[in-house]
């Protein structure tokens, strides 16, 4: 059960740090009734949202509010009237949602709920007059964590799902988290957040207790996987959207003397924002960090959201950044992670594995009239005493190209025969490498000088590096990479 202290401190922050828009502090008007209230986006009783539709003849942007409360309290009603009205007046529709508390389902249940809510809202785009490409998010404390998760996590959409909602994107185009925590790793808090170890009542005695409280597990590996999957500090990458972070204290300020105030101060410390800001700057992600005394481009979160989500005033069209930026983020995968399961390319891959690779070196590439001549490597290594034959200058490069192909095939098949073949030929190449790092079969045999004009030395070196990297990724071994590295250093010294 989540402690009463953390529930109270985060809920207080969610109420006090309501993303104030800086409007006149006079009488607060009544909150407009939602266009659609308590709409279910999932199966749990807390999977509901309110939606306010901005008046517009064209599809509008959407600002999604996610409440705070330590993942144990708070509700969509925490959305302030001022923020709501300012966004609606700017032509931006607004949604506010609830999600499951940690007492009901451990993390990352709340994150999964919010992702589902965004997908649901996108599925309503035509009916509710929304522009799917211009979804932003804001919220405080736990809500700040959740909007950062939606902005920085890989897209969870599944285009092949039978559920049309799941086919929609979970990504946001901009986010404005308030007093957000960028990590849910207790060890990270111990190291980075002032007074967390000495004064915070939220800190538990052991990491195991922390993991059980938040993730419902005492298995360290399971908990660490969950932490990495929800923490902004581990999710952020160079293709992520703009972020505006706000905190209530400066980095150098001292914690309050009052214990309750200090606990709230520690829980929402600007150290989180400073850490993420440094990482964003390094990656080139647009990031604004607001705290007392800081100079920022936007006075508050709502102004930031309006600027990022509004249409260009000059031509009434969507800003270029919004038009061209897809909410879907692509990333590379490891060798062997993708396999053809049928069709033409599976047939070609099977043919490569079963027919071409077994016979390529033994039946073809030991012939002196072949472009890729492995026999010259054997001669240069002293394993073949036959006279050297003249070969094309790019012969070594083509040999490396074949070793790269075998490495890529091994990544998929894990065939020990391929691994053995790679080890053998990489060993031969290593024997050919000279003391200064230069590697070339023709040069070692005296057929041509090192780095001679038109010798294809750079071409061959490029294929050596490419093959060595593929081998490392496929097998985890450093043997080929060590040869390539010594050769590259030799080339660098020459250049």
**Model confidence over 444-454: pLDDT tens digits?**
888 777 766 66
Q: What is the pLDDT of residue 331?
A: 63
Identify the burial level of 174 via C-beta atoms within 10 angstroms of its C-beta, where 0-12 means exposed, 13-18 middle and 19 or more buried: buried
Region 245-257: mean pLDDT is 95
Q: What is the pLDDT of residue 66?
A: 98
Question: Do residues 294 and 359 both lie within one domain?
Answer: no
Q: How long a stretch of residues is the chain?
A: 495
Range with lowest mean pLDDT among 21-25, 130-134, 281-285: 21-25
Peptide bond before 395: cis, by omega within 30 degrees of 0?
A: no
Question: Do residues 348 and 262 both lie within one domain?
Answer: no
Residue 493 has pLDDT above 50, yes or no: no
> Where does the pLDDT of residue 312 fall: very low under 50, low under 70, confident under 90, or very high at 90 and above?
very low
Q: Which of these three, 293, 324, 355, is where a domain ends?
A: 324
Q: Which of these three, 265, 290, 324, is where a domain ends?
A: 324
Please report whether residue 303 resides in a domain. yes
Please report whether residue 14 resides in a domain. yes
Please report whether residue 281 resides in a domain. yes
Q: What is the pLDDT of residue 443?
A: 86
> Where does the pLDDT of residue 357 fall: very low under 50, low under 70, confident under 90, or very high at 90 and above?
confident
Please report whether residue 339 resides in a domain. no
Q: What is the pLDDT of residue 490?
A: 58
- C-alpha to C-alpha distance for 4 and 11, rounded to whole angstroms: 10
Domain span including residue 427: 344-494
Please report whether residue 337 resides in a domain. no
Q: What is the pLDDT of residue 329?
A: 56
Please report whether residue 330 resides in a domain. no
Q: Which of these three, 289, 324, 359, is where a domain ends?
A: 324
Residue 163: alpha-carbon gap to chain centroid: 25
Tell me the backbone φ, ψ of residue 288, rounded to 5 degrees.
Answer: -120, 130
Question: Do residues 73 and 212 both lie within one domain?
Answer: yes
Q: What is the CATH number of the domain that holds 169?
A: 3.40.50.1820
Whether pTM exceeds 0.85 = no
Q: pLDDT tens across 380-424, in order? A: 999 999 887 777 788 898 899 899 999 988 888 888 989 999 999
As for how many domains the chain has, the answer is 2
Question: Do residues 316 and 369 both lie within one domain?
Answer: no
Question: Do residues 313 and 357 both lie within one domain?
Answer: no
Question: Do residues 296 and 386 both lie within one domain?
Answer: no
Region 277-291: mean pLDDT is 96
Please report whether residue 332 resides in a domain. no
Question: Do residues 224 and 299 both lie within one domain?
Answer: yes
Question: Do residues 372 and 305 both lie within one domain?
Answer: no
Region 209-231: mean pLDDT is 95
Q: pLDDT tens across 125-149, in order? A: 999 999 999 999 999 999 999 999 9
Please report whether residue 335 resides in a domain. no
- C-alpha to C-alpha distance for 353 and 363, rounded to whole angstroms: 15
Question: Do residues 101 and 199 both lie within one domain?
Answer: yes
Question: Do residues 160 and 192 both lie within one domain?
Answer: yes
Question: Do residues 271 and 411 both lie within one domain?
Answer: no
Region 342-367: mean pLDDT is 82
> Where does the pLDDT of residue 278 fall: very low under 50, low under 70, confident under 90, or very high at 90 and above?
very high
Question: Do residues 302 and 374 both lie within one domain?
Answer: no
> Where does the pLDDT of residue 324 fall: very low under 50, low under 70, confident under 90, or very high at 90 and above?
very low
């Amino acid at each position: 059960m989540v402690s009463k202290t953390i529930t109270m401190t985060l809920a207080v922050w969610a109420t006090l740090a309501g993303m104030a828009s800086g409007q006149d502090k006079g009488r607060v008007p009544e909150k407009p009734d939602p266009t659609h209230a308590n709409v279910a986006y999932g199966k749990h009783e807390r999977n509901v949202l309110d939606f306010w539709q901005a008046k517009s003849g064209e599809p509008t942007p959407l600002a999604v509010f996610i409440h705070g409360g330590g993942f144990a309290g708070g509700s969509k009603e925490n959305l302030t009237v001022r923020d709501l009205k300012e966004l609606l007046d700017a032509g931006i529709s607004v949604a506010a949602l609830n999600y499951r508390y940690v007492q009901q389902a451990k993390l990352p249940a709340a994150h999964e709920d919010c992702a589902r809510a965004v997908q649901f809202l996108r599925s309503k785009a035509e009916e509710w007059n929304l522009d799917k490409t211009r979804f932003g998010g804001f919220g405080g404390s736990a809500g700040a964590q959740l909007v950062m998760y939606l902005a920085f996590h890989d897209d969870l959409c599944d285009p092949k799902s039978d559920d049309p909602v799941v086919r929609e994107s979970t990504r946001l185009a901009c986010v404005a988290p308030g007093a957000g925590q960028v990590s849910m790793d207790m060890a990270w808090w111990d190291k980075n957040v002032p007074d967390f170890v000495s004064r915070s009542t939220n800190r538990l005695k052991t990491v195991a207790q922390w993991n059980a409280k938040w993730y419902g597990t005492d298995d360290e590996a399971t908990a660490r996987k969950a932490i990495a999957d929800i923490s902004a500090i581990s999710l952020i990458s160079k293709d992520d959207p703009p972020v505006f972070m706000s905190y209530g204290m400066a980095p150098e300020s001292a914690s309050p003397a009052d214990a309750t105030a200090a606990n709230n101060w520690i829980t929402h410390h600007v150290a989180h924002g400073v850490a993420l800001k440094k990482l964003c700057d390094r990656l080139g992600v647009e990031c604004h960090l607001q705290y007392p005394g800081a100079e920022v481009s936007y006075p508050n979160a709502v102004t930031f959201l309006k600027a990022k989500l509004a249409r260009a005033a000059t031509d009434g069209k969507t800003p270029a950044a919004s038009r061209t930026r897809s909410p879907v983020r692509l990333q590379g995968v490891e060798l062997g992670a993708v396999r053809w399961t049928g069709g033409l390319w599976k047939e070609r891959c099977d043919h490569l594995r079963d027919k071409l690779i077994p016979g390529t070196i033994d039946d073809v590439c030991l012939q002196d009239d072949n472009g890729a001549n492995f026999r010259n490597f054997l001669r240069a290594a002293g394993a073949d005493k036959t006279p050297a034959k003249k070969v094309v200058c790019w012969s070594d490069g083509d040999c490396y190209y074949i070793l790269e192909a075998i490495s890529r095939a091994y990544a998929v098949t894990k065939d020990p025969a391929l691994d053995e073949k790679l080890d053998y030929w990489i060993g031969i190449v290593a024997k050919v490498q000279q003391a200064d790092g230069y590697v070339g079969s023709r040069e070692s045999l005296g057929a041509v000088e090192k780095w001679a004009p038109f010798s294809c030395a750079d071409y061959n070196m490029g294929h050596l590096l490419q093959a060595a990297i593929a081998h490392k990724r496929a097998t985890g071994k450093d043997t080929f990479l060590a040869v390539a590295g010594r050769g590259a250093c030799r080339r660098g010294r020459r250049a």
